[in-house]
Chains A and B, each alone.
Chain A
Amino acid sequence: MLKNKINLHLIQFAINSILRQKSKNTFIVIIFIILTFLLSSVFFITNSIKYELNLTVNSLPQILVQKVKAGKSYDIDISMIDDILAIDGVSNASSRVWGYYYFKNLDAYFTIMGLDMYEIQYKNTLSNIINNFDLEKTSQTQTMVVGAGVKRLLEKGYYLGNYFNFIKPNGTIKKMDIIGTFDSSTNLESNDLIIMSKQNARDIFLINENKATDIVVSVKNPEEISTISQKIQTLYPNTKIITNDDIKLSYETIFNYKSGIFLTLFIICLFTFFIIIYDKVSGLTGDEKKEIGILKAIGWTSDDILKEKFYEGFIVSFIAYIIGIIFALVFVYIFQAPLLRDIFEGYSTLKTTFELPFIIDFQTLALVFFLSVPIYIAATIIPSWRVATLEADEVLR
Chain B
Amino acid sequence: MIKLQNVNKIYTINKNNTITALKNINLEIKQGELIILKGASGSGKSTILSLLAALSKPTTGEVIVDNKKLSKLPDNFAALYRRENIGFIFQKYNLITNLSVKENILLPLIPQNLEDKILEDKLNLVINRFNISHKKDILVRNLSGGEQQRVAIARAMVNDPKIIIADEPTANLDEKLSSDFCNVLKELKKLNKTIIVATHDPIFFNLDFVDKIIDINNGSLS
Closest Cβ of chain B: how far from A394's Cβ, in Å?
A: 7
Whether A7 lies near B94 (C-beta < 8 A) is no
Interface residues of A in 1-47 (CB under 8 A from B): 3-4, 7-10, 13, 16, 20
User: In the complex, which residue of chain A has the Cβ closest to the Cβ of B103?
Assistant: A16
Whether B57 lies near A391 (C-beta < 8 A) is yes
Closest Cβ of chain B: how far from A148's Cβ, in Å?
A: 61
A392 beta carbon closer than 8 Å to chain B: yes
Whether A303 lies near B56 (C-beta < 8 A) is no
Whether A299 lies near B79 (C-beta < 8 A) is yes
CA distance in complex: A111, B160 (Å): 84
A268 beta carbon closer than 8 Å to chain B: no
A281 beta carbon closer than 8 Å to chain B: no
Closest Cβ of chain B: how far from A25's Cβ, in Å?
A: 14
A294 beta carbon closer than 8 Å to chain B: yes
Instruction: For A294, give its contact among B50, B53, B94, B113 (CB under 8 Å).
Output: B94
CA distance in complex: A300, B95 (Å): 14
Residue of A10, A297, A394 with most partner-chain B CB within 10 A: A297
A142 beta carbon closer than 8 Å to chain B: no
Whether B82 lies near A302 (C-beta < 8 A) is no
Given the contacts A299-B82, A299-B86, A393 and B50 also touching, CB distance less than 8 Å: yes
Whether B110 lies near A13 (C-beta < 8 A) is yes
Whether A300 lies near B79 (C-beta < 8 A) is yes
Chain A positions within 8 Å of B114 at CB level: 9
A116 beta carbon closer than 8 Å to chain B: no
Given the contacts A303-B76, A304-B111, A298 and B57 also touching, CB distance less than 8 Å: no
Interface residues of B in 1-52 (CB under 8 A from A): 50
Closest Cβ of chain A: how far from B167's Cβ, in Å?
A: 11
Given the contacts A16-B99, A389-B75, A392-B55, A299 and B94 also touching, CB distance less than 8 Å: no
Chain A positions within 8 Å of B111 at CB level: 7, 10, 299-301, 304
B159 beta carbon closer than 8 Å to chain A: yes
User: In the complex, which residue of chain A has the Cβ closest to the Cβ of B158?
Assistant: A298
Closest Cβ of chain A: how far from B108's Cβ, in Å?
A: 4
User: In the complex, which residue of chain A has the Cβ closest to the Cβ of B77?
Assistant: A301
User: How many residues of chain A have a CB within 8 Å of chain B?
Assistant: 29
User: How many residues of chain B have a CB within 8 Å of chain A?
Assistant: 32
Instruction: For B113, give its contact among A3, A300, A393 (CB under 8 Å).
Output: A3
B150 beta carbon closer than 8 Å to chain A: no
Closest Cβ of chain B: how far from A184's Cβ, in Å?
A: 60
B83 beta carbon closer than 8 Å to chain A: yes
Closest Cβ of chain A: how far from B162's Cβ, in Å?
A: 13
CA distance in complex: A302, B57 (Å): 16
Residue of B88, B94, B109 with most partner-chain A CB within 10 A: B94
Instruction: For B55, give its contact among A7, A295, A297, A389 (CB under 8 Å).
Output: A297
Closest Cβ of chain A: how far from B48's Cβ, in Å?
A: 12
Whether A7 lies near B79 (C-beta < 8 A) is no
Chain B positions within 8 Å of A303 at CB level: 76
Closest Cβ of chain B: how far from A122's Cβ, in Å?
A: 69
CA distance in complex: A221, B80 (Å): 74
Whether A297 lies near B53 (C-beta < 8 A) is yes
Instruction: For A298, give its contact among B80, B82, B103, B119 (CB under 8 Å).
Output: B82
A117 beta carbon closer than 8 Å to chain B: no
Whether B96 lies near A302 (C-beta < 8 A) is no
Whether B94 lies near A396 (C-beta < 8 A) is yes
Chain A positions within 8 Å of B159 at CB level: 299
Chain A positions within 8 Å of B88 at CB level: 297-298
User: In the complex, which residue of chain A has the Cβ closest to the Cβ of B159?
Assistant: A299
A361 beta carbon closer than 8 Å to chain B: no
A291 beta carbon closer than 8 Å to chain B: yes
A96 beta carbon closer than 8 Å to chain B: no
A296 beta carbon closer than 8 Å to chain B: yes
B60 beta carbon closer than 8 Å to chain A: no
B184 beta carbon closer than 8 Å to chain A: no
Whether B155 lies near A298 (C-beta < 8 A) is yes
B183 beta carbon closer than 8 Å to chain A: no
Whether A302 lies near B103 (C-beta < 8 A) is no
C-beta contact mask, B100-115 vs A, less than 8 Å → 1, else 0? Answer: 0001001111110110
Whether B108 lies near A298 (C-beta < 8 A) is yes
C-beta contact mask, A380-396 vs B, less than 8 Å → 1, else 0? Answer: 00000000010111101
B98 beta carbon closer than 8 Å to chain A: yes
8 smallest CB-CB distances across A and B, nearest first, come from A299-B83, A393-B56, A393-B55, A301-B79, A304-B111, A301-B76, A7-B113, A392-B55
10 contacts between A and B (CB under 8 A): A7-B113, A9-B106, A9-B110, A10-B110, A13-B103, A290-B94, A296-B55, A297-B88, A298-B108, A301-B75
* Sample of 6 further A-B pairs with CB below 8 A, known A298-B107, A298-B108: A3-B113, A9-B106, A10-B110, A299-B159, A301-B76, A304-B79
Interface positions of A (Cβ within 8 A of B): 3-4, 7-10, 13, 16, 20, 290-291, 293-304, 389, 391-394, 396
